[in-house]
């Protein structure tokens, strides 16, 4: 990887000067915006200067001079600006790099750095009897992309759908079904009918407060394994999962494990009792059981209510224990919205107290998805718009665009293109923003073939594919024929791909990778528009250019696939 290469180079110099050698993380390799300042810049002279009691300029100067003397083949020249050392890559090195990347293009960006380590990525986590909405798209797509990225780095990834399938709401739902439910309605449109019942329960509750009691009783019966209630709960669960699966199938999302909150229900009483016995948990207000988290500056974790009911947090503690025991993961990612930050801070703090910290635990939090009016995307009734409706609408819009763009293609292919474009657009819209920020969801921007969108990237790929199609067989070529600036910038950008993937995993972000691919597309489109490729009358150079195109197409595809986005050979 290019960053490692530069770091080693710098450390060699430090060693030769008998200066302190730096850890990899201590060396920041930057990419100056202005190419006059080199392809890469290193600012270590500032810190070193303090240690060595010299000026940063002096230290930078020495580093630059020594590199100049050593004349590494990778570097054409080094310059200093203030305390910065700026590196310019050599043409030879860039030509050789293209040859290497081309040869290895299918695996470029992959590594084995995570080999032998397991990682559990928990994402999507819809709740039984509730529609999946646009917020679920964000966790689903983000979790899937992170899982792909870790897999690409050699980790054994376990994709986990932690269903929201337990809690007092099921008592209310069962009560509502017994009072007003229709089997037929539930069978025709399960989640819609179940949501309707839940809403009705709450409306009726205003007039009939005694219903509250009824809900609690039904839940108690469910917990006590009452046959009828258990059967109803199972039925609601099964039908809901079927609907979720339909959505996952459309989105191309898979899980290895579907184990939700209900799975841990049975262990909770003994878990709480054990914690109490060990003095870790204590009785707090109104008979509730709590774990004090003062040492973490957090409010106490409530793990059992006064009436003995378990809580969301208790189930998460049990689930964590189960996961650590059974899978021994090195890392566990919870891809869940910002609004649950406190919950995860408490869970992770409790995990420390309970010695459940054998894995690195991370809350991969993300912001809201807002409508174009910057308000929550909701129906006129104030409900969140069901995800399936969002997908449906996107498909229709995409079809119209594709229909116009690709008039000559057969109907079936147009439909397939529209589908792939839609899914790409929706996913990219979720991944292109920094995950901590809210997304302002825009139909137009998302489907804009010339903007920062998946369709633009997919279109770029298709364009490259069509050039290669027309070119026919490419022979071995002489890369020294590539001398244009527009060619070098592409090769330089290709060199950064492995680092972009590593950064994605390190920070659990996808927006940097999306940006990388967008920039790559811009560069290759500029190249294509300004430089003859197929029409280049120098055969050797034409082939070299075609290889540059093929390599770029391949990396664009790998990158998009990491984000869970498919490419198309033609649009």
By DSSP bridging, strand 439-440 and strand 369-370 are parallel
Q: Select the residue interacting with ligand ARG from 120, 311, 336, 462 (CB under 6 A).
A: 336
Q: Select the residue interacting with ligand ARG from 62, 80, 86, 125 (CB under 6 A).
A: 125
Q: Which is nearer to ligand ARG, 255 or 428 (CB)?
A: 255
Q: Which is nearer to ligand ARG, 78 or 336 (CB)?
A: 336
127: contact with ligand ARG by CB under 6 A: yes
Per-residue binder mask for ligand ARG (CB under 6 A), 76-115, x = binder? ----------------------------------------
Q: Which stretch binds ligand ARG (CB under 6 A): 84-92, 120-128, 419-427, 438-446?
A: 120-128
Q: Which is nearer to ligand ARG, 241 or 446 (CB)?
A: 241
CB of 319 to ligand ARG, least distance (A): 6
B/e letters for 125-140, b = 16+ CB within 10 Å, e = fewer, are: bbbbbbbbbbbbbbbb
Q: Which residues contact 53 (CB under 8 A, 6 or more apart)?
A: none
Rounded-to-integer distance, Cα 394 and Cα 386, Å = 13
- The two three-digit tokens of residue 103, written as one number: 């040869």
Kindly report the number of other CB atoms within 10 A of residue 326's CB atom: 9
334: contact with ligand ARG by CB under 6 A: yes
348: contact with ligand ARG by CB under 6 A: no
- Of 216, 341, 308, 321, nearest to 264 (Cα)? 321
Q: Which residues contact 323 (CB under 8 A, 6 or more apart)?
A: 120, 329, 332, 359
Q: Are 78 and 68 in contact (CB under 8 A)?
A: yes
Q: Which is nearer to ligand ARG, 335 or 391 (CB)?
A: 335
Q: Which is nearer to ligand ARG, 232 or 336 (CB)?
A: 336
Largest separation between any pair of C-alpha atoms in the chain = 87
- Of 503, 480, 432, nearest to 2 (Cα)? 503
168: contact with ligand ARG by CB under 6 A: no
Q: Which is nearer to ligand ARG, 235 or 312 (CB)?
A: 312
Q: SS3 of 384, please?
A: strand
Q: Which is nearer to ligand ARG, 127 or 168 (CB)?
A: 127
Q: Which is nearer to ligand ARG, 83 or 164 (CB)?
A: 164
Q: Which of residues 456-475 bind ligand ARG (CB under 6 A)?
A: none
CB of 367 to ligand ARG, least distance (A): 15
- Of 368, 335, 289, nearest to 160 (Cα)? 335
Q: Which of residues 271-330 bind ligand ARG (CB under 6 A)?
A: 316
Rounded-to-integer distance, Cα 176 and Cα 164, Å = 19
Residue count at the site for ligand ARG (CB under 6 A)? 8
Q: Select the residue interacting with ligand ARG from 143, 164, 171, 498 (CB under 6 A).
A: 164
Rounded-to-integer distance, Cα 138 and Cα 542, Å = 43
Q: SS3 of 486, please?
A: helix
- Chain centroid to Cα 30, Å, comes to 24
- The two three-digit tokens of residue 122, written as one number: 């928990």
Q: Which stretch binds ligand ARG (CB under 6 A): 13-21, 95-103, 119-127, 403-411?
A: 119-127
CB of 124 to ligand ARG, least distance (A): 9
CB-side neighbour CA atoms (13 Å) of 341: 7
Q: Which is nearer to ligand ARG, 39 or 144 (CB)?
A: 144
Per-residue binder mask for ligand ARG (CB under 6 A), 59-78, x = binder? --------------------
Per-residue binder mask for ligand ARG (CB under 6 A), 191-210, x = binder? --------------------
Instruction: Provide the 8-state DSSP code for 37.
Output: G
Q: Which stretch binds ligand ARG (CB under 6 A): 121-129, 187-195, 440-448, 554-562?
A: 121-129
Rounded-to-integer distance, Cα 194 and Cα 184, Å = 12
Residue nearest to ligand ARG (CB): 164
CB of 343 to ligand ARG, least distance (A): 7
Q: Select the residue interacting with ligand ARG from 93, 102, 162, 488 (CB under 6 A).
A: 162
265: contact with ligand ARG by CB under 6 A: no
Q: What end-to-end distance do the CA atoms of the chain give, in Å?
A: 34
Rounded-to-integer distance, Cα 318 and Cα 159, Å = 18
Q: Which residues contact 246 (CB under 8 A, 6 or more apart)?
A: 388
Burial class (CB in 10 A: 0-12, 13-18, 19+), 289: buried
CB of 122 to ligand ARG, least distance (A): 6
Q: Would you tell me which residues interact with ligand ARG (CB under 6 A)?
A: 122, 125, 127, 162, 164, 316, 334, 336
């Amino acid at each position: 990887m290019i960053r490692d290469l530069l770091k080693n180079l710098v450390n060699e110099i430090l060693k030769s000067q008998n200066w302190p050698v730096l850890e990899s993380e201590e060396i920041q390799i930057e990419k100056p915006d202005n190419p006059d300042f080199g392809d890469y810049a290193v600012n270590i002279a500032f810190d070193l200067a303090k240690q060595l009691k010299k000026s940063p300029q002096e230290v930078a100067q020495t580093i630059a001079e020594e590199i100049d003397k050593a004349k590494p083949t990778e570097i054409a020249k080094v310059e200093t600006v203030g305390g910065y050392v700026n590196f310019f890559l050599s043409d030879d090195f860039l030509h050789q790099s293209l040859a290497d990347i081309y040869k290895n293009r299918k695996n470029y960006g992959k590594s084995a750095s995570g080999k032998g380590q397991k990682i559990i990525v928990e994402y999507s986590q819809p709740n039984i009897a509730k529609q999946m909405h646009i917020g679920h798209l964000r966790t689903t797509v983000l979790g899937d992309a992170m899982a792909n990225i870790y897999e690409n780095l050699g980790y054994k990834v376990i994709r986990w759908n932690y269903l929201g399938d337990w809690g007092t709401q099921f008592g209310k739902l069962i009560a509502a079904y017994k009072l007003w439910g229709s089997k037929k309605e539930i069978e025709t449109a399960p989640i819609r009918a179940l949501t309707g019942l839940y809403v009705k329960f709450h409306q009726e509750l205003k007039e009939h407060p005694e219903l509250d009691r009824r809900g609690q009783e039904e839940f108690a019966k469910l917990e006590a394994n009452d046959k009828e209630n258990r059967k109803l709960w199972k039925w609601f669960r099964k039908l809901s999962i079927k609907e979720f699966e339909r959505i996952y199938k459309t989105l191309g999302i898979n899980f290895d494990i579907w184990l939700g909150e209900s799975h841990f229900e049975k262990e909770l009483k003994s878990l709480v009792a054990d914690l109490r016995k060990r003095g870790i948990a204590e009785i707090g207000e109104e008979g509730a059981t709590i774990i004090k988290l003062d040492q973490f500056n957090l409010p106490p974790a409530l793990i059992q209510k006064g009436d003995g009911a378990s809580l969301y947090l208790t189930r998460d503690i049990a689930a964590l224990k189960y996961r650590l025991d059974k899978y021994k993961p090195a890392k566990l990612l919870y891809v869940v919205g910002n609004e649950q930050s406190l919950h995860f801070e408490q869970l992770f703090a409790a995990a420390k107290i309970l010695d459940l910290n054998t894995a690195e635990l991370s809350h991969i939090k993300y912001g809201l998805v807002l409508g174009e009016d910057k308000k929550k995307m909701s129906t006129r009734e104030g409900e969140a718009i069901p995800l399936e409706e969002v997908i449906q609408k996107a498909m229709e819009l995409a079809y119209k665009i594709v229909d116009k763009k690709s008039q000559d293609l057969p109907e079936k292919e147009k439909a397939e293109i529209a589908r792939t474009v839609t899914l790409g657009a929706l996913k990219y819209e979720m991944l292109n923003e920094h995950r901590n920020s809210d997304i302002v969801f825009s139909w137009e921007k998302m489907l804009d073939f010339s903007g920062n969108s998946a369709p633009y990237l997919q279109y770029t790929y298709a364009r490259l594919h069509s050039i290669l199609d027309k070119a026919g067989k490419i022979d071995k070529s002489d890369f020294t024929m590539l001398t244009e600036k527009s060619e070098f910038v592409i090769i330089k950008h290709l060199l950064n791909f492995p680092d972009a993937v590593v950064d994605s995993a390190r920070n659990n972000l996808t927006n940097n990778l999306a940006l990388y691919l967008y920039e790559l597309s811009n560069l290759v489109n500029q190249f294509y528009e300004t430089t003859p490729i197929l029409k280049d009358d120098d055969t050797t150079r034409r082939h070299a250019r075609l290889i540059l195109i093929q390599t770029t197409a391949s990396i664009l595809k790998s990158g998009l696939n990491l984000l869970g986005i498919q490419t198309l050979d033609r649009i």
